[in-house]
Amino acid sequence: MVSKGPLLRLLTAINRRRMKLLVGLAFVAYVACESLQENGDQKVESKIEEVSLTAVAVCSVLKSPFTQKYPPVKFLSEKDRKRILITGGAGFVGSHLTDKLMMDGHEVTVVDNFFTGRKRNVEHWIGHENFELINHDVVEPLYIEVDQIYHLASPASPPNYMYNPIKTLKTNTIGTLNMLGLAKRVGARLLLASTSEVYGDPEVHPQNEDYWGHVNPIGPRACYDEGKRVAETMCYAYMKQEGVEVRVARIFNTFGPRMHMNDGRVVSNFILQALQGEPLTVYGPGTQTRAFQYVSDLVNGLVALMNSNVSSPVNLGNPEEHTILEFAQLIKKLVGSGSEIQFLSEAQDDPQKRKPDIRKAKLLLGWEPVVPLEEGLNKAIHYFRKELEYQANNQYIPKPKPARMKKGRTRHN
Ligand SMILES: NC(=O)c1ccc[n+]([C@@H]2O[C@H](COP(=O)([O-])OP(=O)(O)OC[C@H]3O[C@@H](n4cnc5c(N)ncnc54)[C@H](O)[C@@H]3O)[C@@H](O)[C@H]2O)c1
């Protein structure tokens, strides 16, 4: 009797379904022939049983790669199920939003050019009947039938949006025009992922939605800040002139699993430094405050806003402020790291405070962040630890990059 082991391993290694089937059938036929040619005193039934067992083993190998398990998905009736487009859906926030909307039972199409997003972020949905992934740049027009558009496509962290400022501008301007044009054509509602950066270097604290901002239109961050400001302007022009339903979320700093290793912001920098046993670098005395929301809170806020009747801009962020030094000490403790905290000279334009005013979201959406900071940080640390292992296996250890450069100096974000 021929050994099944090597052939079953061969079947497992073959990727193409039809090829796998052919090799499997050829193998079963071979085993059957071989059995019949062997000495005739063995009973025919035992031969049949032997061939059947081989066939069952082959079938299980044939089936195994195609029985992918997906996270649980609710059933929604035709009436309640929406066709939802998420631009930038393979990125940090977009992939979590994809998870929520898929699990809620909607049909989700992710459009991404993979500039900062990764297929890995949404690979667990690939092949699901409600899910589609399209490699597309929003700077080019898109023709698709949808009910809602979450427009998130845009690099978000300073090193990424400063990498190619012209492309950042095109994505936020031409890309937003294209998505608004699509919304107008198909009668879809569009939610723009705007940012707290529209407030620039704010003169009021905390920032509420009525504040017009304080942005340098020709500074290094203008490609992003002004890009988002004009994207907001475009939304309201389409609303007033064409009757497109728009929602505008002004998102404040967000963290969680799937954020970029080289994001350059304080949470990811500190976690990476602590995990790699390097000093946690604090600029200035560390008394500046920052507020971070956990990604699941943001996703719930985005969905609540999209499905509300609030068309004016809404801040989504966590108002719980901590000093940079507190963040460093907490992350060091949660990682269990022996890293020291290193104080470097203070950056000139480092804001002393950043905090959202979320009274509008509370009042009109009934939304507020609920994930405690430590709980969120532990999830992010777990993710970064796994990512470092993954990267180490691929011989690449990322180092945190300086957050923002102005006059040649870094600053906290
Ligand atoms: N993460 C935050 O703290 C934060 C804060 C404020 C606002 N935002 C906004 O939220 C959105 C998502 O941010 P994120 O943190 O997930 O960033 P991210 O970089 O992880 O995701 C952005 C996604 O957009 C894609 N993309 C970029 N340019 C594109 C283009 N031209 N065409 C198609 N896809 C393109 C990227 O590949 C990526 O998948 C962004 O619009 C960002 O401005 C995020």
Q: Per-residue pLDDT averaged across 224-228, rounded?
A: 96
- The rounded Å distance from CA 104 to ligand 1 centre is 22
Q: Is the pLDDT of residue 42 over 80?
A: no
pLDDT of amino acid 406: 44
**Beta bridge mates, 86:** 110, 150
Q: Is the pLDDT of residue 262 over 60?
A: yes
pLDDT of amino acid 73: 96
Q: Is the pLDDT of residue 400 over 80?
A: no
**Confidence class of residue 201 from pLDDT cuts 50, 70 and 90?**
confident
Q: Is the pLDDT of residue 18 over 70?
A: no
Is the CB–ligand 1 distance for residue 274 below 6 Å? no
Q: Whose CA is nearest to atom 9 of ligand 1?
A: 193
Q: 10-24, 137-151, 208-222 — which one is most confidently predicted on average?
A: 137-151
Is the CB–ligand 1 distance for residue 315 below 6 Å? no
- Choice between 413 and 21, residue whose per-residue pLDDT is larger: 21
180-194 pLDDT tens trace: 999 999 999 999 999
pLDDT of amino acid 409: 43
Distance between CA 51 and CA 56 in Å, rounded? 9
Listed in sequence order, the DSSP H helices in 251-372 are: 266-275, 295-306, 324-335, 359-360
- Choice between 127 and 27, residue whose per-residue pLDDT is larger: 127
Q: Per-residue pLDDT averaged across 137-160, rounded?
A: 96
pLDDT of amino acid 52: 59
- Choice between 34 and 270, residue whose per-residue pLDDT is larger: 270
- The rounded Å distance from CA 20 to ligand 1 centre is 39
Is the CB–ligand 1 distance for residue 266 below 6 Å? no
Q: Is the pLDDT of residue 411 over 70?
A: no
Q: Per-residue pLDDT averaged across 97-108, rounded?
A: 98
Percent share of the chain, pLDDT over 90: 69
Average confidence score pLDDT of the chain: 86
pLDDT of amino acid 320: 94
Please state the pTM of the whole predicted model: 0.82
- The rounded Å distance from CA 400 to ligand 1 centre is 19
Distance between CA 4 and CA 150 in Å, rounded? 51
Environment class of 218 (CB within 10 Å of its CB; exposed 0-12, middle 13-18, buried 19+): exposed
Name the strand (E) or helix (H) holding 347. Answer: none
Query: Is residue 224 annotated as a catalytic residue, yes or no?
Result: yes
- 159-163, 172-176, 246-250: least confidently modelled range: 159-163
Contacts 24+ apart (CB under 8 A), 297-300: 297/369, 297/370, 297/371, 298/93, 298/96, 298/251, 298/254, 299/93, 299/96, 299/97, 299/100, 300/100, 300/367
Q: Is the pLDDT of residue 389 over 60?
A: yes
